Amino acid sequence: MGPMLTHAPTQRLLAGPPLDGRAESLAAHHRRLGPLPALPARQMVAALETTGLLGRGGAGFPVGRKWRAISERTENGTPVVVANGAEGEPESAKDRFLMTHRPHLIIDGAILAAGTLGADRVELYLGREHTSAVRAMRVAVSQRHVSEQKLLHVVEAPIGYVAGESTAVVHYVNSKDARPLMTPPRMSERGVRNRPTLVQNVESLAYSALIARYGPDWFRERGRGNNRGTALVTVAGPVRNEGVVEIDLGTPLAEVVELAGGLTGTPQAVLIGGYFGTWTRIDSAWNLPLDPESLKAAGLTLGCGLVRLLDARACGVDYSARIMAFLAAGSAMQCGPCRYGLADLASASGRVAAMSAGPDDLYHIDRWTGLVTGRGACRHPDGAAQQMSTAMTVFADDFASHAEHRRCLAGAHVGGVR
């Protein structure tokens, strides 16, 4: 089976020309999808609410509710739309993949949002390090009509994990400082230039542009179980075709792995939702439907849609400690518990991973993950702690073996799991 076929069953966002690294041109985009219909604002917001579409940036906030909050505001001036494409997750690729291949669908969504909310300005907030995505978006803007170009402003965000956090996005657009803000007023009230601001992930905007064309009933034709629609996920680890696939929400992990070409190794565990996400043993995750509700019921999160399988020969202690170190370095260093707590968590977990644990390291890791949670301006410490504490549970034997016997169990179970 070729790589293209693996995407075939459920393409909506990824429908169209081959996904070969080249962007769909404006002409091809218009031939394929036709013009963006001009819907009355009320009808568009209602359509989004009917779909139940959830934001795809990680937090999963209902898109329709977000648009409604701004469409009903009359204070603080003309609204602003920010298309958030700053994908700070190192292993997630879905936003940059979509921007690289379907930039006009995203721009359609941003223009649609601006029209619906009465905004006179769209900021396309892109991660500077994703050069091919930035190039595709810039070219796409240049292909647009002059009247649309006046609306669209490309902002290249600095590299950094927290730069895509929504208060950091607004902070950067306003004052070139991509650090989160403490308890800002709601961005639907005051965001960019103190105006009502919609900060929406690029995948959510692209989907909105399809819903405007085909309607909420079309949206709800796909999806399994109670969940409607499709979503982009990034599959990483021992699979044939690592990368982005579009799935029906509610598709079990086992089938998602098949969409990525099937296993090439023996996974022991899976990290779902990104570096802020949750670890699960592969046997309890294998038949789990991937959708926000099912995952939440299992104590997990879909987050940014990362599905990171960890091979049985790899060390879960080491992997989670490396993520911890990455997230500690990625702290905006504004809030004490995040700045010092994540640094200590990274040091302690690093010692355990390197077989040089102190006698209290495991105890401290366990305690500190609780202690940093909920104690920052943004949820960076919460996410970092969640990754670490679920790793401590899933890799409990290995953490204990590392700390007490200075011995790594990686590979010891090969053959024992799927």
Contact set with another protein (CB under 8 A): 175, 177, 181-185, 334-338, 340-341, 344, 368, 371, 375-377
Q: CA triplet 244, 112, 36: central angle to 5 degrees?
A: 85
Give first-to-last CA distance, the chain, whole Å: 22
Q: Of the two residues 195 and 308, which places its CB atom closer to another protein in the complex?
A: 195
The DSSP code for 378 is S
Rg over alpha carbons for the chain, rounded to the nearest Å, is 21
Q: Of the two residues 286 and 340, which places its CB atom closer to another protein in the complex?
A: 340
Q: Of the two residues 26 and 343, which places its CB atom closer to another protein in the complex?
A: 343
Q: Of the two residues 235 and 377, which places its CB atom closer to another protein in the complex?
A: 377
Minimal distance, residue 378 CB to another protein, in Å:
9
Closest CA to 90 of 254, 309, 327, 313: 327
The DSSP code for 187 is T
Is the distance from CB of 57 to CB of 304 less than 8 angstroms? yes
Minimal distance, residue 339 CB to another protein, in Å:
8
HSE value, Cβ hemisphere, 13 Å, CA-based, for 69: 15
CA torsion, points 402, 407, 410, 414, in degrees to nearest 10?
A: -130
Q: Of the two residues 184 and 265, which places its CB atom closer to another protein in the complex?
A: 184
Beta carbons within 8 Å of 394's beta carbon, 6+ residues apart: 269, 279, 280, 281, 316
Q: Of the two residues 20 and 75, which places its CB atom closer to another protein in the complex?
A: 75
Beta carbons within 8 Å of 144's beta carbon, 6+ residues apart: 26, 107, 152
Minimal distance, residue 113 CB to another protein, in Å:
27
Minimal distance, residue 350 CB to another protein, in Å:
17
Q: Give the C-alpha separation, 264 to 281, whole Å.
A: 18
Minimal distance, residue 386 CB to another protein, in Å:
18
Minimal distance, residue 342 CB to another protein, in Å:
11
Q: Of the two residues 97 and 276, which places its CB atom closer to another protein in the complex?
A: 276
Is the distance from CB of 94 to CB of 203 less than 8 angstroms? yes
Length in residues, the chain: 418
| Beta strands at 152-157 and 197-201: parallel, antiparallel or unpaired | unpaired
Q: Of the two residues 4 and 182, which places its CB atom closer to another protein in the complex?
A: 182
Minimal distance, residue 59 CB to another protein, in Å:
19
Q: Of the two residues 389 and 401, which places its CB atom closer to another protein in the complex?
A: 389
Q: Give the C-alpha separation, 33 to 206, whole Å.
A: 12
Is the distance from CB of 348 to CB of 361 less than 8 angstroms? yes
Minimal distance, residue 77 CB to another protein, in Å:
19
HSE value, Cβ hemisphere, 13 Å, CA-based, for 396: 6
Q: CA triplet 371, 310, 315: central angle to 5 degrees?
A: 70
Minimal distance, residue 164 CB to another protein, in Å:
18
